Structure 1
Amino acid sequence: MSERDNMKTKDKTVLGLELERFRFSRALRDTLAGIDLSLEPGSLTAIVGGSGSGKSTLGAVLAGMLPRHDGDELEATLRLAGREIRHGAGSGVRIDPVGWARQVGMLPQDARHYLSGVRETVEEELALGLENAGVPRTQMRARIAALADRLGLHALMDRDPGKLSGGQERLVALAALALGEAPVLVLDEPLAGLDTAAAARVCALVGRLRSEGTAVVLLTRFMDQLAAGADHVLSLREGSCHEVEYVAPTARAAAPPVRRPVADGPALLEFSGIDLGYRGSAGSVVAGLDLQLRAGECVALAGPNGTGKTTVLKAAAGLMRPAAGEVAGSASSGGSVGLLLQNPVDQLFERTVRREVAFGLPKRAPQAARIPEVLASLGLADEAETHPYELPASARRLVALATVLVREPTVLLLDEPTEALDADGLALLHTAIETVLDRGGAVLLATHDEAFMAATAHRVHRMGPAAPARI
């Protein structure tokens, strides 16, 4: 870009960042270095990078969330709403988080963190920010109803936000963020866990927001449909950004399919006419499900958000009792079942990776001796003494997977296992699944990732809303 063009860009900049370096407290090297961003009204900037590249950290800097404390080191100049803020050694700069959030809103990778956790319904959750801003009630209801139309949320308005599926949770968080009408939005993996229809609605919403002048920053692992209209595509590697030409998204390279199951393998998990629902729900989430999982096979559960995929996995793990029908081979009947939850935050609580994977295992148990082997198989051997929350999102998901695999489950249950995984993480996941199948186990997974299903599943069972499902 010429100096003249650069001057024009700065004149129209709604948010500018000149970042020399950022380093977390006690880190041995900089997480980010040498980044220069200028965001114009209505622009879309896609920042693409693998796990650990610094995407989420960069988003948190833009959103005024970093540095968090005196130990974090940031040397940068931010220009926002006519103000210039200089971070540097001894500057003592503190950003007003409430005032900053009015200008820059951020949807975190874990969308749950954006929700308050104190509202009883989705409608009340969406109203929270508007209430705090003093928006008149009539105007508030009109804005919420209009956004619910665009994102297809009307069926969720009376639901408890704490009982939504992962994809529904992300849609609600994005709606709450959009209602704030901040001039700049930073979206960290906004399409993760969404079905095709929901992803299309999000893309349409982002397009509308841009047409109204909102500048959008997209943080993503892969070039996806939301990045298709990006004004700038930046590759983030080892903390540094480089602009690249946009390449139309193509299907991710899939690993070779796992070996075909033995046709007459024994049934390891079987659902017979089961109905599943939650207390207080108007009806069943899953009705009349018949499904059999045999040794050596991988079966995928697919379908729109909210059709009960996670609910089926919970029943298989013995965490839910069906209102009708029977589950055979689940944990409730003594089967060896391991469940990887959709959100690793629900599964990680120890202070090192090694302690996390060893949790609950007797020291002399055969599984305890396998901990180094399992960590090595998932590329975590060098992270054994690291706190799980100091790892990037892809590695955290693999740590959660390690806590399951170390117990050598006969049936492995995976809920949206590809979320947050970069290309290396996906390859490790494929290998882990093959290992379970090779030893005569079986895998039941829930996912919206069609490429992953094509490469991994022997059968795909597509679920519909509250309709009897047969296979």
Structure 2
Amino acid sequence: MSGARQPVLEARIESFRFDGSRHPILHGSHLQLEPGTLNVIVGASGSGKSTLGAVLAGMLPRPGLDLLHGQLRLDGQQIDHRDGQGPRIDLAVWARHVALLPQEVGQYLSGIRETVAEELAFGLENIGVARAQMRTRVRSVARQFGIEPLLERAPERLSGGQQRLVALAALSIGEPQVLVLDEPLAGLDALAAERVRQVILELRTQGRAVVVLSRLPDALTGQADASFRLQDGTLWPVTVWPASVPPAITEWPAIEDPATLLAFDHVSAGYPQQSAAVLEDFSLRLVAGECLGLAGANGSGKSTVLKTAAGLLPPRGGTVESCEDIGLLLQNPADQLFERTVRREVSFGLPRGSLHRQRVERVLDELGLSELAETHPYELPVSARRLLALATVLVREPRVLLLDEPTEALDEHGLERLHRVIERRLAAGGAVLFSSHDESFMRRTAHRVVRLAAAPGRSVTRQQFGDL
């Protein structure tokens, strides 16, 4: 970064510790953000990236709870934190300067607006922008992010990737000086990811300071003005990232004369409050021992296929035949978690007895959650919450495993655990159907891929794994 400009935001974090924790999650870190710069911070799941983002956004520390030793300097104003003492930050004022897009975008969207256009206007209404100017800015930002066709859609009816685009547009419309983006490319198809990347570079050109938090180096890393690795709670500058090695292709053992476990026959399907079908004339067959991937643009119907397979959406036409033992991991882990501890979450609904108890402990160990068994699910990082949601499905030992964007938020260790889960399911004579935008994981894991066309449900192309 150039040293000629005055930083718009500077953070010196001697240590940060959550309430009730013995050890700091962040320490010995200094971050200086200049206008018109892109700053990429890479760290493994649970390394503290989201915590750092919340500190920069003024959301942490929570007054009277967490302990922060250090200073924040925003636009010339310095805030000192010592021994849990520090001025209470006015989040409404702070957010006009520093905006945070959390990893789970559902936490950012208001949940009370009926259309995407109203969602984009929500923040402008709160700061008293005139209605005519508001309409102009909404249209401009929608065009910039390529979401004009979504403006009259209900936010809760969008795909996960579409919701991320809307949330990022809503974040930028207020024109904050600093944007902190936690995994901004997660869950996006290739076209949407490239659009977001270009928008981020454009925001930098406009003089914004952009911070991207990522679990792995990605397309933005090579274009950053400053790059850091967050490791053991400390930020370390990085000048050259090591070249990534693509994972080896897995050769799954074949099953002789496999049984059909799931079959779609000319199925049309959609949602109750939508007249148009998302899927039309869709056919698919999944057999024992097979791992099948679903690919396609955001909104093309991948989640609809999985929900229809699980029986959550009855088909409007055609037939769906499946075995009785089906388990579904939803795209948003929050939709599956409601208990007070990790162990209670995985145990929920299981009959009492030693065999079931052993199954719970085995699944916790398989997913690396044993040491977190007494932790509240919402105290876990997003990656661990995704693995926990997966554990609640695996503990029931479904024969067919349905996974909606299972790689989101997972680092190398989480991806390896997920791969072993699939391996065990196939070895036991089960089958796996998953959706993903992660082409690397798809290439490594799937026997074949069904690609849904950009026009939802109109057509599909089927590719053998080697054709990807």
TM-score scaled by length of structure 2: 0.95
Distance 2:181 2:190 in 1: 18
For 1:133, the equivalent position in structure 2 comes to 127
Cα drift, residue 258 of structure 1: 4.6
For 1:413, the equivalent position in structure 2 comes to 402
For 2:224, the equivalent position in structure 1 comes to 230
Structure 2 residue aligned with 1:429, among 401, 404, 418?
Answer: 418
Deviations 1:6-37 (A, max 9, x none): xx46x511101111110000101001001111
Structure 1 residue aligned with 2:277, among 267, 284, 287?
Answer: 284
Deviations 1:347-373 (A, max 9, x none): 111111111111000013844431111
Alignment of 1:33-432 (within 5 A): 33-89=27-83, 91-247=85-241, 250=244, 253-262=246-255, 264-329=257-322, 335-364=324-353, 366-432=355-421
CA RMSD of aligned residues (A): 1.6
CA contact (8 A) 2:68 2:84 kept: no
Distance 1:258 1:442 in 2: 15
Deviations 1:422-446 (A, max 9, x none): 1101000000000000000000001
- 2:347 partner letter: A
CA contact (8 A) 2:71 2:79 kept: yes
CA contact (8 A) 1:302 1:462 kept: yes
Cα drift, residue 92 of structure 1: 3.8
Structure 2 spans left out of the alignment, 5+ residues: 463-468
Distance 2:309 2:294 in 1: 13
Distance 1:362 1:93 in 2: 50
- 2:387 partner letter: L
- 1:326 partner letter: T
Distance 1:111 1:101 in 2: 16
**SS in structure 1 at match of 2:364:** helix
- 2:375 partner letter: T
Distance 2:137 2:254 in 1: 52
Cα drift, residue 90 of structure 1: 5.4
CA contact (8 A) 1:258 1:434 kept: no
- 1:168 partner letter: Q
- 1:151 partner letter: F
Task: Indicate the larger mover: 399-408 or 133-142.
Answer: 133-142
**SS in structure 1 at match of 2:220:** helix
Distance 1:90 1:423 in 2: 35
Structure 1 spans left out of the alignment, 5+ residues: none
- 2:426 partner letter: L
**SS in structure 2 at match of 1:275:** strand
Seen in structure 2, the aligned counterparts of structure 1 residues 429 and 178 have a Cα distance that, compared at 3 Å, is: same
**SS in structure 2 at match of 1:98:** helix
**SS in structure 1 at match of 2:199:** helix
Cα drift, residue 283 of structure 1: 1.4
- 1:257 partner letter: T
- 1:319 partner letter: L
Deviations 1:248-275 (A, max 9, x none): 875x632541514336311000001110
**SS in structure 2 at match of 1:370:** helix
Deviations 1:67-126 (A, max 9, x none): 113120001111112211111125342000000000000000001111100000001101
Distance 2:185 2:347 in 1: 33
CA contact (8 A) 1:224 1:249 kept: no
Cα drift, residue 400 of structure 1: 1.0
Structure 2 residue aligned with 1:29, among 23, 30, 41?
Answer: 23
Cα drift, residue 144 of structure 1: 1.5
Distance 1:107 1:55 in 2: 12
**SS in structure 1 at match of 2:374:** coil
CA contact (8 A) 2:266 2:282 kept: yes
Seen in structure 2, the aligned counterparts of structure 1 residues 294 and 61 have a Cα distance that, compared at 3 Å, is: same
Distance 1:90 1:233 in 2: 30
**SS in structure 2 at match of 1:52:** coil
Distance 2:243 2:183 in 1: 15
TM-score scaled by length of structure 1: 0.94
**SS in structure 1 at match of 2:401:** strand
Question: How many aligned residue pairs are there?
Answer: 460
| Structure 1 consecutive aligned stretches of length 4 or more whose deviation exceeds 6 Å | none
Distance 2:80 2:182 in 1: 25
Distance 2:447 2:355 in 1: 31
- 1:432 partner letter: V
Seen in structure 2, the aligned counterparts of structure 1 residues 383 and 167 have a Cα distance that, compared at 3 Å, is: same
Distance 1:453 1:248 in 2: 23
Seen in structure 2, the aligned counterparts of structure 1 residues 233 and 223 have a Cα distance that, compared at 3 Å, is: same
Cα drift, residue 179 of structure 1: 0.1
